[in-house]
Amino acid sequence: MTEDHPIGLTIRRGVKVYPGTVALKGVDFDLRMGAVNVLVGENGAGKSTLMKVIAGVESLTEGETSRNGQVVHFRSKADAVAQGIGIVFQELNLFPNLTVAENIFIGREPTRAGVDIDREHQRAETARLMKRLEQPIDPDTPLGNLRIGQQQIVEIAKALAQNAEILILDEPTSALSAAEVEVLFRVIADLKAHGVGIVYISHRLEELIRIGDYITVLRDGAITGSRPMQGVDIPWIVRAMIGDSSKEFGRTEPPNFGDEVFRAEEVVLPRPGGGNAVDHVSLSVRSGEIVGLYGLMGAGRTEFLECIMAQHPHSGGRFFVEGKPLTERDVAGRIARGIALIPEDRKRDGLVQIMAIRENLTLSALGRFTRLFHLDLKAEARTAAEFVKRLTIKVASPENPVSSLSGGNQQKVVIGKALMTDPKILLMDEPSRGIDIGAKAEVFRTMRRLAAEGLGILFVTSDLDEVLALSDRIIVMANGRITGTFPSGTDAAEVIAATAPVKESAA
């Protein structure tokens, strides 16, 4: 097999460091030509970083990249394109106000004598690509008029138009119907036959086994498995992805659940371009219960939490707190009814960096310190000090700016700010993102303690170990829908399988 698939690109001792994290840790990677090189791993494992390095979007901090045996240095995407490398990103890089043809050729428009754009040539080439992809899409159609799956097809056509020798496909089927997936697989088979090396990233494990020739597994920035696909099964992939043991974040005391504190019914959030980002989601949380909401990027988890917090006025559905309908239609009203959100991006959405730790802690609960037209600053300082102690926030002084704290302690300030509103249900979006393992353990112990005190917690995470170890109940979302509900102790393979539901056939 390897003789038929020569190595076209290698990375040796690849290290990529971002502020506060090491995304790639000494990675050795071989990309074989005329084959599908499958890349798999949990969210945050380093897959996209590795592909951005190959595509010239990012540069290695240490290590070297070789193309056909020659060391190369990609300082930009243009450098990679010059080496025959194309990439289809998971997040669409398209312009909804331009036509399909204009999107496919943007930045490299064909011209007539270098004077004006040859639009007829653009249309003809676009029509040829659409025929190859078996899509009845007019080249002059404004992209914004297409549904998301068709926009994904246009993104793939844009890469094919560059005649890439190496083509990176990052979650290319995430928005495609079953019929469109079959078309893509036929195109991939044709590209392989012409010697194109394909890197294929997907969380759909059955899909990977079907289409892959070689597999590489990443975990926490390091390669934990690399081999030809023969003999690979889903249990092997799962073991390589998450290891044999979970992180120790589990509950140490028996659960003591109370009555239902929160319920959502038939929540819908329309997506621009068609379809629903949140598609008729219903769930409930009991007092003292930690419910983990697991899924992949684009599953609709964050959008669902935002709907609960009234951040999408055009969403539909019903919410109940302690059995009573939630009719308040703004964020302040939802907070007053006992709902609090720990946002995914704490620096942008959860904190005001130039303000003091004390001021950040009390920001959502200033009403409790208001005396007529003034703030009782002594009461505010006293309460802030109590929360610093309660949450073991490591501070020199509550009057220091919150930006002076570590990531883990900043996250505790965001939690403290939410708790100061006396919530009945705490929504947490990726509570461990961007903090080290010690800080994670402290945050998770805090979550357990709060649940033991009777608080209901609904948390979103992309970390499979965390959702398995922390959750009293696991709810999996994919494509905006709930695709599985599991009790604590469920096997990891079952949870992973629920993230990749069978798509409905195209009409």
Structure tokens, 151: 């926009």
pLDDT at 506 over 70: no
Distance of alpha carbon 300 from alpha carbon 276, whole angstroms: 9
Instruction: Let me know whether 70 and 187 are in one domain.
Output: yes
286, β-bridge pairs: 260
Task: In whole angstroms, give the CA distance from residue 350 to residue 356.
Answer: 13
Strand partners, 31: 9
Based on the fold, state whether residues 278 and 193 are members of the same structural domain: no
Q: b/e string for 335-365 if b means 16 or more Cβ within 10 A? A: bebbbbbbbbebeeebbeeeebbbbbbbebb
Q: Looking at the structure, do residues 383 and 493 belong to the same domain, yes or no?
A: no
Compare 427 and 177 and report the one with higher pLDDT.
Answer: 427
Cα 359 to chain centroid, rounded: 31
pLDDT of residue 432: 78
DSSP letter assigned to residue 349: I
Least confident of 117-121, 242-246, 382-386: 242-246
Q: Compare 222 and 501 and report the one with higher pLDDT.
A: 222
Identify residue 206 by its one-letter amino acid code: E
Pairing of strands 456-461, 425-429: parallel
In angstroms, rounded to a whole number, what is the distance separating the alpha carbons of residues 182 and 190? 13
351 alpha-carbon distance from chain centroid: 22
Residue 249 belongs to some domain of the structure: no
- 12 and 111: one domain? yes
Q: What is the mean pLDDT of residues 223-230?
A: 91
> Phi/psi of residue 190, each to 5°?
-65, -40
Determine the Cα–Cα distance for residues 96 and 384; give it in Å rounded to an integer.
47
Tell me the C-alpha distance between 59 and 261, whole Å.
48
Give me the pLDDT at residue 198, please: 93
Which pairs count as long-range contacts for 436-440, CB under 8 Å and 24+ apart, including other chains? Answer: 436/407, 436/408, 438/408, 439/406, 439/407, 439/408, 439/409, 439/411, 440/249, 440/408
Q: Identify the domain boundary among 193, 212, 242.
A: 242
Give 194-253 as a 3 state SS string: CCCEEEEECCCHHHHHHHCCEEEEEECCEEEEEEECCCCCHHHHHHHHHCCCCCCCCCCC
139 and 181 fall within a common domain:
yes
Looking at residue 27, its amino acid is V
Mean of per-residue pLDDT scores for the chain: 86
Q: How far apart are CA 45 and CA 23, in angstroms?
A: 8
**What is the pLDDT confidence band of residue 1, given thresholds at 50, 70 and 90?**
very low
Amino acid 278: pLDDT: 94
Same domain, 38 and 131: yes
Q: Residue 296's pLDDT band (boundaries 50, 70, 90)?
A: confident
DSSP string, 362-386: HGGGGGGGEETTEE-HHHHHHHHHH
Residue 253 lies in a domain: no
* Rounded alpha-carbon distances, angstroms, from residue 433 to 222, 238, 388, 408, 478: 18, 22, 21, 9, 20
Please say if the pLDDT value at position 394 is more than 70: yes
Mean of pLDDT values over 12-19: 88
Rounded to the nearest angstrom, the gap between the alpha carbon of residue 201 and the centroid of all alpha carbons in its chain is 14
Domain count, the chain: 3
Give the pLDDT of residue 174.
67
Predicted local confidence at residue 481, as pLDDT: 92
Identify the pLDDT of residue 501.
55
What is the distance between the alpha carbons of residues 371 and 359, in angstroms, rounded to a whole number?
17
Using a pLDDT cut of 90, give the percent of the chain over it.
38
Residue 464 and residue 294: Cα distance in Å, rounded?
8
Q: Examine residue 343 and state whether it is found in any structural domain, yes or no.
A: no
pLDDT at residue number 268: 95
**Largest distance between two CA atoms of the chain:** 81
pLDDT: is 43 or 347 the higher one? 347
Same domain, 294 and 377: no
Q: Report yes or no on 17 lying in a domain.
A: yes
Q: Could you tell me if residue 248 is inside a domain?
A: no
Q: For residue 246, name the pLDDT band (cuts at 50, 70, 90).
A: very low
C-alpha–C-alpha distance, residues 311 and 212, integer Å: 41
Element (H, E) at 481: strand 481-487
> What pLDDT score does 318 carry?
95
Position 98 scores a pLDDT of 92
pLDDT at 436 over 70: no
Per-residue pLDDT band at 29 (split at 50, 70, 90): very high
Instruction: Tell me the C-alpha distance between 144 and 148, whole Å.
Output: 9
Query: Does residue 112 sit within a domain?
Result: yes
Res 421 pLDDT > 60: yes
pLDDT over 90 (residue 158)? no
pLDDT at residue 245 is higher than 60: no
pLDDT at 304 over 90: yes
- Give the Cα separation of 419 and 471 in Å (integer): 20
In angstroms, rounded to a whole number, what is the distance separating the alpha carbons of residues 380 and 370?
Answer: 9
Same domain assignment for residues 303 and 431: yes
Among 164, 170, 165, 141, which Cα is nearest to 154's?
141
C-alpha to C-alpha distance for 477 and 259, rounded to whole angstroms: 24
pLDDT at 505: 41
Residues 111 and 224 in one domain: yes
Measured distance CA(493)–CA(500) in Å, rounded: 12
Whether residues 300 and 440 fall in one domain: yes
Assess contact for 402 and 412: CB atoms under 8 A. no
- Residue 185 makes CB contacts below 8 A (sequence gap 6+) with 210, 211
pLDDT of residue 434: 61
Range of the domain at 451: 259-338+424-500
Residue 229 lies in a domain: yes
Q: Is residue 263 located within the same domain as residue 317? A: yes
356: which 2 tokens? Answer: 């003091």
Identify whether residues 288 and 236 lie together within a single domain.
Answer: no
CB atoms within 10 A of CB 127: 15
Q: What is the pTM of this model?
A: 0.61
Is 247's pLDDT higher than 60?
no
Which pLDDT band holds residue 254 (cuts at 50, 70, 90)?
low
Classified as helix, coil or strand, 162 is coil
What is the percent of the chain with per-residue pLDDT over 70, rounded to a whole number?
92
248-252, 284-288, 378-382: which has the highest mean pLDDT?
A: 284-288
Look at residue 506 and tell me if it is in a domain.
no
- CA–CA distance from 467 to each of 419, 476, 486 (Å)? 22, 10, 11
**In CATH, what number is assigned to the domain containing residue 97?**
3.40.50.300
